[in-house]
């Protein structure tokens, strides 16, 4: 069964942080995705959603489940981009502002955690935005 959904994420929408990742997890659970895969997807999706809220000017999350069971998540945001991808991939490195840190976000583990739980991870960034392409398979 193939499935395609698109979700919107707004900048600074801390009140709804995690809403999209919860919706994606619920949708995937309803179609029978295994719990161990759901956990990895939930971690990756939540981290990426929070990054969009904190750092981007809004964006979209695209969910695609193919007929063969592969699950693809594509995160596309609108600027400002990641100035130094190598640093951003370093555990503990963060550019989160004081507002995000005061709410408990910005520990600098988002991208490293996303990469760790994903079967395939690809990221591109420029001043017009960041694209994060993730793939999850039946078993890691």
Of 106 and 117, the one with more pLDDT: 117
DSSP-derived secondary structure for 48-98: HHHHHHHHSS-EEEEEEE-TTS-EEEEEEE-S---S-HHHHTSTT-----H
CATH code (residue 13): 3.30.565.10
Range of the domain at 102: 3-136
* Rounded alpha-carbon distances, angstroms, from residue 137 to 71, 76, 134: 7, 21, 10
Verdict on whether the full-model pTM lies above 0.75: yes
Model pLDDT, residue 139: 53
Query: Looking at the predicted structure, is the pLDDT value of residue 107 above 80?
Result: no
Smallest Cα–Cα separation from 55: which of 94, 16, 93, 113?
94
Tens-digit pLDDT profile for residues 4-25? 999 999 999 999 999 999 999 9
Tens-digit pLDDT profile for residues 45-64? 999 999 999 999 989 999 99
Radius of gyration of the chain (CA): 14
Residues 6 or more apart whose CB falls under 8 angstroms from that of 19 comprise none
Which two tokens mark 63?
A: 């969910």
Residue with token string 């490195």: 93
Residue with token string 């959603």: 49
C-alpha atoms less than 13 angstroms from C-alpha of 123 in its C-beta half-sphere = 20
The number of domains in the chain is 1
CA–CA distance, 72 with 63 (Å, rounded to integer): 6
Model pLDDT, residue 140: 44
């Amino acid at each position: 069964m193939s499935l395609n959904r698109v979700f919107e994420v707004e900048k600074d929408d801390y009140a709804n942080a995690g809403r999209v990742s919860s919706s994606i997890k619920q949708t995937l659970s309803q179609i029978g995705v295994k719990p161990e895969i759901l956990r990895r997807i939930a971690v990756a999706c939540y981290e990426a959603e929070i990054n969009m809220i904190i750092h981007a000017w809004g964006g979209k999350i695209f969910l695609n489940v193919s007929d063969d069971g592969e699950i693809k998540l594509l995160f596309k945001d609108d600027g400002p981009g990641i100035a130094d991808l190598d640093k951003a991939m370093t555990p503990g490195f963060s550019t989160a502002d004081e507002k995000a840190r005061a709410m408990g976000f910005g520990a600098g583990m988002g991208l490293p955690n996303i990469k760790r739980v994903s079967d395939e991870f690809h990221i591109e960034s420029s001043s017009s935005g960041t694209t994060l392409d993730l793939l999850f398979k039946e078993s890691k």
